[in-house]
Amino acid sequence: MSDRVPTIVITGGTKGLGRATAELFAEQGFDVFVCSRTAADLEAMQLAWAEKFPQRKLFTEVVDLAEKEAVLRFGQRVRKRWSRIDVLVNNAGIFLPGSISGEADGALEHMMQINLYSAYYLTRELLPLMVPHKKGHIFNMCSIASLFAYPNSSAYTITKFALLGFSKVLREELKTEGVKVTALLPGATWSDSWKGADFPEDRLMAADDIAKTIWGAYTLSDSAVVEELIIRPQLGDL
């Protein structure tokens, strides 16, 4: 029986959905590699990790996911550290409100870099740590906005539609390689994006809800995969 410690890579892993997922997988015995734009957030996570998960390794990297070369360097750092990964969660994303006619010039390009291209580049870099082993699971953090257009969310919605398309293509290409692909389409979930919002706590989903959903999909047998999963607040969208 192998004593290899399972591994997970999470982009945007210091807060919200990424942090909840990192902690749940650590509880289940995984070593974790996360990236964030902010060094202070990574340092704080390391300190908390040492107390909460002393038996589990946490590797961190400052990465601006809007820059292709930075994403590629992050992938190379992961490959230098590990020869195999079990899970990749392309979680990082950004939301800038606006309409097509009114949003700032460059809003679409900036969100496309972070919400789509970073997932594309990093997945390409890390597939060699999955495909040769005929095993692995990739989760792409799409959105309910991958299915429906919402007011004042034009460029964001475009990028999330594109990320769902990427997930569908990836699923087709990898289904005979033993690598699973799941597109997650959550509705409103408590995160830094909603910090300070004046809503009842149960009006939005908890980040833990999404983490538990990821874990549940991951633990299915090798013969089953959740291709797309919609999870929304019980009372519907805000």
pTM of the model: 0.94
Rounded-to-integer distance, Cα 225 and Cα 238, Å: 30
Q: Which residues contact 41 (CB under 8 A, 6 or more apart)?
A: 14, 15
Give residue 146's pLDDT band: very low, low, confident or very high (50, 70, 90).
very high
67-125 per-position pLDDT tens digit = 999 999 999 999 999 999 999 999 999 988 899 899 899 999 999 999 999 999 999 99
7-231 has CATH 3.40.640.10 classification: no
4-58 per-position pLDDT tens digit = 999 999 999 999 999 999 999 999 999 999 999 999 999 999 999 999 999 999 9
Domains of the chain, by residue range, sit at: 7-231
